[in-house]
Homo-oligomer: A and B are copies of this chain.
Amino acid sequence: MKFSYITHLHCPKCQKEYRYDQIQQLCECGSPLLVDYDLQELKKHWTPSSLAGRGHDLWRYHELLPVVDPDNIVTLGEGMTPLLRMDRIGATMGIDHLWMKDEGIIPTGSFKARGAAVGVSKAKELGVSELAMPTNGNAGAAWALYAARAGIKASIVMPIEAPVITRNECAISGANLNLVNGLISDAGKIVAQAVRDHGLFDASTLKEPYRIEGKKTMGLEIAEQLNWKVPDVILYPTGGGVGIIGIYKALKELAELGWISDKLPRLVAVQAAGCAPIVKAWEERKSSSEFWENSETAAFGINVPKALGDFLVLEAIYATDGCAIAIDDASLLQEQADIARLEGAFICPEGAATFSAARRLRESGWIKAGETVIALNTGSGIKYPETVQVEVPTLEPGERMIRE
C-alpha cells in the first residue's frame, strides 16, 4: 500500500499531462490542472472498512490525496466536520430530510482550511519557500496560518472590504498582508505582478492544482457520513467554485472505486443576486461565464466576478442535472437569522444562501418531496459580526433584568 495513489496531473481543456513531483501552476494553455490517481490499483486494496480506526480529519482519505510522504502533512486537525439534521428550518420549507454540512467547525472557521491544509502540505513537499495569493479574506487567512505552521513565507492581498477578522488572522500569522481598494480581481492582478517580479509560488485559486484535492474531502465526508449513500441534492455557495468542483471530483472518484452508485447527487451552484456569473451562464446553457460588472453582496466570499474554473463548475452542474440559482442579500440574511433562531447555528451569509436556495427550489418543485438535501455552510458566523444587528439594554449593577 502506498500512502498516496497520485499518478500525474492533467489539463481538462487540452489534456496535456504534468508530473506531480515538480511545482506546477496552470497548464500551458491557461487552464487549471486536475490531479489523477491510480483508482484501478487502489480499488484492489482499499475499501470503506479500511477507514475504521483512522483519525477524524481529512487525512483519513490520504490514498486519494496528493501528499506522498506523511511527514509533509501540515495539519491543524481539519476535516470530519459535522453533518447535522436541520429539521426545524427544513419544516418551514417543506423539506423533510434537510442536512447541513457545517464547515464552520474547522480551523480558521471556514472551509478554506481544507484547501490550505492540502495545498500547503503539497507546497512543502515540493520545496516551496514563499507563496502569494489574492483572497476575499477566508482563503488568505487559512493559507497564511497553514503556511506559518509549515514555515513557508506568505504574501496575501485582500480587498479592503473583506471581513475584518481575516486581516487579524493574516497579521498574527506573520504573513505579509496588503489591502487593496478594489475587488479580488484587482488583488489578483497585484499578486500576478508580484509573482512575476519576485518568482513567488502563485497560490491563487486554481492556479495551484492541490486545493481542489483538499476541498474534495467535503464530498468524501458527506458520502461516508451518509454511509456511502449519497443525497439527492447538494447546494453549494459558489464564488471561485473550487468546492463544487472538488465535491464533483470526489463523487466521481468514489463511483469509480465502487463505493457509491453511479447516480450522483444533483449539484446546485448558489450565487448572490449581486454577483451571479455562473447562474447567467447556466441559464444561457453556456460552458463558461462572463465577467460580472459592479458585483456586490453581503456574502463577501462569493463576490467573484469571473472564476478561472467556471467551465468546471458548469460541467459539474450539467453532468449531474443540477442547476444554478441567485439569492438576494435580504433573503439570505433573513435565512441566516432564522437558522440561528430555529437551529442554534450561527452560520455565514454564504452558507445561509444555500438554505434560501433550497427553499426556492422546493417551492418551484425542483426539489421534490421526500428528497434528501444537503446545504453546505462554508464558514462560521462569528467571522461576520456585521451581519447581526444588536440592540440590547445595558444595566447598572443591582438593576433588574429587562425581559422581553
Contact = CB atoms under 8 A, between A and B. Distances in A.
A52 B51 CA distance: 11
Q: Which of A56, A76, A181 has the most CB of B within 10 A?
A: A76
Contacts of A186: 397-398
Contacts of A382: 108-109, 165, 168-169, 380, 382-383
A344 B401 contact: no
Interface string A58-95: 00000000000000001111001111100010000000
Interface string A97-116: 00000101111110000000
B52 A76 contact: no
A345 interface: yes
A106 B382 CA distance: 12
Copy number in this complex? 2
Interface in A347-404: 380-383, 385, 388-390, 392-404
A404 B80 CA distance: 37
Nearest to A380: B109
A13 interface: no
B56 A76 contact: no
Given A169-B382, A178-B392, A107 B105 contact: yes
A84 B77 contact: yes
B401 A172 contact: no
A385 B182 CA distance: 23
A386 to B, nearest CB: 9
A199 interface: no
A174 interface: yes
A157 interface: yes
B176 A403 contact: yes
A76 B53 contact: no
B145 A346 contact: yes
A190 interface: yes
Sort chain A's interface into a size bin.
35 or more
A42 interface: no
A132 B404 CA distance: 13
Contacts of A148: 340-344
A402 B145 CA distance: 20
A293 interface: no
A334 to B, nearest CB: 12
A160 interface: yes
A183 to B, nearest CB: 8
A298 interface: no
A172 B105 contact: no
A403 to B, nearest CB: 6
B398 A189 contact: yes
A198 interface: yes
B390 A167 contact: yes
Given A148-B341, A189-B398, 16 more contacts: A52-B52, A76-B84, A77-B83, A107-B345, A109-B109, A148-B344, A149-B344, A155-B401, A157-B395, A171-B388, A173-B346, A177-B390, A180-B396, A181-B395, A186-B397, A189-B397
9 contacts: A76-B102, A76-B344, A77-B83, A108-B346, A145-B346, A149-B343, A167-B392, A176-B402, A193-B401
Q: Which 7 A-B pairs have the closest CB atoms?
A: A77-B82, A149-B344, A186-B397, A172-B340, A194-B401, A168-B388, A174-B341
